[in-house]
Amino acid sequence: MVTVTPIHADFVAEIGGVDISRPLAPAEWQAVEQAFDRYAVLVFHGQKLTEAQQLAFAERFGPLERSIGTYVYGVGKRRRLERPELSDISNLDEDGAVIARDDERRLINISNQLWHTDSSFKKTPAKMSMLSAQEVPPEGGETEFADMRAVWDALPAARQRALEGLVAEHDYYYSRSLTGFDASTIPPERRALTPPVPQVLVRTHPVTGRKSLYLAAHIKRIYGMDEVASRALIDELMALATEPRFVHQHKWKADDVVMWDNRCTMHRGRPFDERSRRSMRRATVSDIGPTVAADWRPPA
Ligand SMILES: [Fe+2]
């Protein structure tokens, strides 16, 4: 029997009574799916998953993304993980040893410590991400989540009206630049695979109908606004959205699995002593399409 134990009113629930390494019975599946729509972040403990088992569970939510680490950087290099659909959220190299501080993989992954939602730099962004922990550092390295539905609900109606209809430019290399990654090390033809994309600033959840702000460190600007006003607005909304009242912190244990709805949450990784080993992998499921209408064009 699947148990659902909420941590906040409608945000973050612990799921028990189910072994997600095996195919779920229809009733179990339904319980997990309903909890996912309602709580947006689900925590499972004691789930030892192989790569294949993790992907099989994630795939029930939609088509799997391919990890950007397999087609933008590190192309042709041997990876620690076998399956290209899994992103390596570890500090380990292909042989399982702790990577150096100046390793490209570390410099790219460190941007995960900025508040973001996964793959909003893609035309069709991510619907769901599922992170599974094999080894965790003794302290630090938590993941924090922000409930972007609650943030929206907290805005005055006039403010909500002013934000609806705005479209932001999300750029993978913008967020990388914030942590000092030099994009010129990536060949132009690979950089061209992740061009800046438009995303609406206010989203409506397709199942619950709840609205939420769609923010991320990937946002470079708001279309139709001058740079100063655009940056001021993004910074203000980011500061509001990450106030402690909207945030939940997950402290990892080995064999934890956490899955979240990227359409209505943000998250960030917290720092840890990188001499400690951390082994985690993420499966990511695509949304059904772009957030902007097919005929949307940037304002002149
Ligand atoms: Fe992420």
Domain with 211, as residue range(s), is: 3-286
CA 265 to ligand 1 center in whole angstroms:
11
**Nearest-CA neighbor of 254 among 163, 145, 134?**
134
Where residue 253 falls among pLDDT bands split at 50, 70, 90?
very high
pLDDT at 77: 84
Residue 193 counted as domain residue:
yes
Contact partners, residue 97, CB within 8 Å, separation at least 6: none
CA 188 to ligand 1 center in whole angstroms:
24
On the question of pLDDT at 290 being above 80, the answer is yes
Residue 107 counted as domain residue:
yes
Residue 296 counted as domain residue:
no
As a whole number of angstroms, the distance between CA 193 and CA 122 comes to 10
CA 173 to ligand 1 center in whole angstroms:
15
On the question of pLDDT at 74 being above 80, the answer is no
Q: In what order do the strands lie in the sheet with 247-250?
A: 247-250, 143-147, 265-269
Whether the CB-CB separation of 163 and 202 falls below 8 Å is answered with yes
Contact partners, residue 296, CB within 8 Å, separation at least 6: 167, 198
Instruction: For residue 253, give the CATH number of its domain.
Output: 3.60.130.10
pLDDT at 272: 96
Scanning the structure block, which residue is given the tokens 């949304």?
287
93-109: average pLDDT: 87
Residue 166 counted as domain residue:
yes
Neighbours of 162 (CB within 10 A): 12
CA 157 to ligand 1 center in whole angstroms:
30
Residue 116 counted as domain residue:
yes
Chain segment 163-190, per-residue pLDDT in tens: 999 999 999 999 988 988 888 888 888 8
pLDDT at 103: 84
Whether the CB-CB separation of 109 and 282 falls below 8 Å is answered with no
Where residue 57 falls among pLDDT bands split at 50, 70, 90?
very high
Where residue 28 falls among pLDDT bands split at 50, 70, 90?
very high
Chain segment 102-154, per-residue pLDDT in tens: 888 888 788 899 999 999 999 999 999 999 999 999 999 999 999 999 999 99
CA 190 to ligand 1 center in whole angstroms:
21
As a whole number of angstroms, the distance between CA 162 and CA 166 comes to 8
Query: For 275-299, b where at least 16 C-beta lie within 10 A, e where not — what string?
Result: eeebbbbbbbbbbeebbbeeeeeee
Scanning the structure block, which residue is given the tokens 């500061």?
239
pLDDT at 183: 82
In DSSP terms, 144 is beta-bridged to 249, 268
Radius of gyration of the chain (CA): 19
Where residue 158 falls among pLDDT bands split at 50, 70, 90?
very high
On the question of pLDDT at 73 being above 80, the answer is no
pLDDT at 138: 96
Chain segment 30-39, per-residue pLDDT in tens: 999 999 999 9
User: Considering the chain, what is the average pLDDT of its residues?
Assistant: 95
pLDDT at 179: 86
CA 79 to ligand 1 center in whole angstroms:
19
Domains contained in the chain, number: 1
pLDDT at 185: 84
Structural element, H or E, at residue 159:
helix 157-163
Backbone angles phi, psi at 146, to 5 degrees: -120, 135
